[in-house]
Structures are given as C-alpha cells and as structure tokens.
C-alpha cells in the first residue's frame, strides 16, 4: 500500500518550510542534529559565502586561541625578516653576535613592538626601521582591537543552552499514543515564553513520482511560560495526525524526519534564542516512555534536574495503537 494513502488525509500539509518539495533535491537529511540546514552553497566565493566573524565566534575556544597564537608568531616572523632586510644596524641595543641570534633579537623586537611593550633596550634607528616599527605598533593595536571585539562577540553571542533527547519516542499517551521529545535547559539561564513548532518531512510517491511532503504536527502545548525543568514536547497521534494510520513498519521503512524548532526569551542574554534539531524516523523509539528526570532534593527545599537522564526511557507497550483504523 502506497505510503501517501497511509498518511492521514486530515493531516494539515504545510508548504512554506523553506525546503524544496522535489525529493531529488533531498540530500538525506533536511536538518542536521545540530540544527543547521543540510545545505551547501556554490557559485559564490569562499569569503562571500561565509561570515569570517561568525565563524571565529563559533570556533571551539582552544582553536580560537591557537589561531591567535599562530597569527602572533607568523606576523612577528614576517616583521623580523623585514627588519633584518632593512639592516640589523638600524636596531640599537643589540647584544647578539651570530646571525641566528640577530634574527632572534629582531623577532623579539618585533614582538615588543607589536604588543606595545617597547622595553626600549632594542630600539629603531633611522627612517625605514622607525617607520616600520610605527606601522607595526599600529597594526598590533588594531589587531588587539579586533581581538577584543571577537572576545566580546564570543561571550555575548546569544545561544539557546538547551539539550534535546537523542531519540524521539512513540509512547503511550492517555488512550492513544504520542510522539514525544524531551528538551531541558542545562545552564543557569531562565528561558521564558518558550514556543515549539514541530514539522515532519516525508518522501512519498504521488501520481507515480516521489515528492517531499511536509506536515505540521499539532502539539499538546505549543508553549510553556518558563522552561525551568524539562519539557516533554508531545504530539498526540489523534485523528488529525499524519501518523494516524502508521504501523510499526511504516515508521521503520519510511524516509522521513521530524523537524523541531524552539524559540524562547533568555533572560541571561535578554534576547530571543532559537534552536533547531531533527529526528529521522530511524531515531524514533517505537514503544518507550521517558523516565522522570527531576525530583525533590534530599533536603526537601529544592528541585533537582538530572541532566544525565534526559534521554532515559523504559519500554512501554504501544502495540494497541497499530490496529486498523478507518479514515477518510
């Protein structure tokens, strides 16, 4: 039986997802686990298609420091070469003898100029060397102005400090079943006015050719006032769900993806933060329910949120939901 017929005709299709409907464009995943769209741009220059600043903001800390350190070494080596080329006799106060030591002193003079330490034992004499040193000090200060901006940018960049469960569950829910995903904040931020939007993308056969179909999934709650504990996002499989007629096999054999989009106001950044993730149908556990992840502290005066239990679940019978139903 064709998949398209299995998709509940009462489900609300949605088209303005920003993804194409032609499955020949579908590259295996609409959205990566990290929330980035699985898209590459071509026909545009490398520096035009990326934002250097934002790439530097999102680098791991150690890589960021490494880049600064390498830049510092390289630029001082370059300047040292030019100082030697102008003539080592234009650097006053040298105490070195060998060529190697002279190069080292030129390099250290360059470092002292670039960082504006300027001890002055080694100091520039003559027009060319003095000019170069003035330029180097300017470049040094501008570099540190840029680095200051980068540091602040890295610190202050609003991020949704939210973690999603690795799996979505098909879990019992009241008399029916529901798709459940769990999300929890892991930093000392308070996220208020959180709002979730869940869409599925499915590759179906229609009129003899395949197409990407998108459906918005109605949720138990679209928003919570404050995302302080964990939030289990629940899509109940009611008559209006696209999954209403799905069997266990349909979940296992269909190429599809649940796209989760979550927006909240973060009072730490005083800014709206946005995060996305996706669950392919292979990442849905059929027949399981989440274990509670928060409880009262032993002293009884706090609630403890166990972040390590975010993805803990126990098996739960959902076979009753796969019986034949009648839909239009």
Nearer to a second copy, 3 or 111 (CB): 111
Give the shortest CB-1-to-a second copy separation in angstroms.
Answer: 27
Give the shortest CB-211-to-a second copy separation in angstroms.
Answer: 14
Give the shortest CB-127-to-a second copy separation in angstroms.
Answer: 6
Give the shortest CB-315-to-a second copy separation in angstroms.
Answer: 22
Beta-carbon contacts of residue 286 (< 8 Å; ≥ 6 apart)? 170, 248, 251, 252, 318
Backbone angles phi, psi at 285, to 5 degrees: -90, 120
The total of other beta-carbon atoms located within 10 Å of residue 125's CB is: 13
Beta-carbon contacts of residue 32 (< 8 Å; ≥ 6 apart)? 38, 278
SS3 164: strand
SS3 37: strand
Q: Answer for the pair 227, 262: CB distance below 8 angstroms, yes or no.
A: no
Nearer to a second copy, 69 or 85 (CB): 69
Give the shortest CB-163-to-a second copy separation in angstroms.
Answer: 9
Cα torsion 27, 30, 35, 41 to 10°: value is: 50
Give the shortest CB-12-to-a second copy separation in angstroms.
Answer: 14
Nearer to a second copy, 238 or 265 (CB): 265
Nearer to a second copy, 5 or 49 (CB): 49
> What's the token pair of residue 9?
């005709």
In angstroms, the CA 194 to CA 265 distance is 7
Nearer to a second copy, 166 or 248 (CB): 166
255, 210, 215: which is closest to 17 by C-alpha? 215
Nearer to a second copy, 78 or 104 (CB): 104
Nearer to a second copy, 162 or 318 (CB): 162
Backbone angles phi, psi at 146, to 5 degrees: -65, -45
Give the shortest CB-238-to-a second copy separation in angstroms.
Answer: 18
Q: Answer for the pair 165, 286: CB distance below 8 angstroms, yes or no.
A: no
Nearer to a second copy, 6 or 163 (CB): 163
H/E stretch holding 101: helix 99-114
Terminal CA-CA length for the chain: 16
> What's the token pair of residue 118?
């300027």
Give the shortest CB-327-to-a second copy separation in angstroms.
Answer: 27
Cα torsion 311, 312, 314, 316 to 10°: value is: -30
């Amino acid at each position: 039986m064709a998949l398209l017929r299995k998709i509940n005709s009462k489900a609300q299709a949605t088209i303005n997802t920003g993804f194409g409907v032609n499955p020949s464009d579908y590259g295996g995943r609409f959205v990566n686990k990290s929330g980035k769209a699985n898209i590459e741009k071509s026909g545009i220059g490398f520096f035009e298609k990326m934002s250097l600043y934002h790439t530097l903001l999102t680098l791991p800390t150690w890589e960021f420091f490494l880049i600064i350190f390498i830049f510092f070494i390289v630029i001082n080596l370059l300047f040292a070469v030019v100082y030697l080329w102008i003539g080592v006799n234009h650097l006053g106060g040298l105490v070195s003898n060998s060529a190697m030591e002279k190069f080292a002193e030129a390099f250290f003079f360059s470092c002292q100029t670039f960082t504006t330490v300027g001890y002055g034992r080694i100091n520039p004499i003559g027009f060319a060397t003095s000019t170069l040193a003035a330029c180097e000090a300017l470049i040094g200060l501008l570099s540190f102005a840029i680095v200051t901006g980068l540091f602040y940018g890295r610190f202050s960049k609003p991020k949704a400090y939210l973690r999603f469960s690795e799996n979505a569950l098909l879990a019992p829910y009241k008399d029916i079943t529901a798709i459940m995903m769990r999300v929890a904040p892991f930093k000392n931020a308070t996220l208020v006015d959180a709002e979730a939007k869940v869409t599925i993308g499915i590759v179906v056969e229609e009129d003899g050719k395949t197409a990407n179909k998108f459906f918005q999934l109605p949720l138990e709650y679209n928003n919570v006032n404050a995302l302080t504990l964990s939030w289990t996002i629940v899509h109940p499989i009611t008559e209006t769900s696209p999954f209403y007629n799905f069997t266990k096999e349909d979940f296992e054999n269909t190429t599809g993806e649940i796209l989760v989009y979550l927006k909240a106001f973060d009072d730490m950044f005083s800014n709206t933060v946005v995060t996305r993730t996706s669950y392919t149908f292979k990442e849905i556990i059929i027949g399981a329910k989440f274990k509670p992840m928060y409880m009262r502290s032993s002293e009884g005066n706090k609630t403890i949120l166990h972040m390590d239990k975010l993805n803990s679940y126990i098996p739960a019978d959902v076979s009753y939901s796969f019986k034949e139903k009648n839909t239009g």
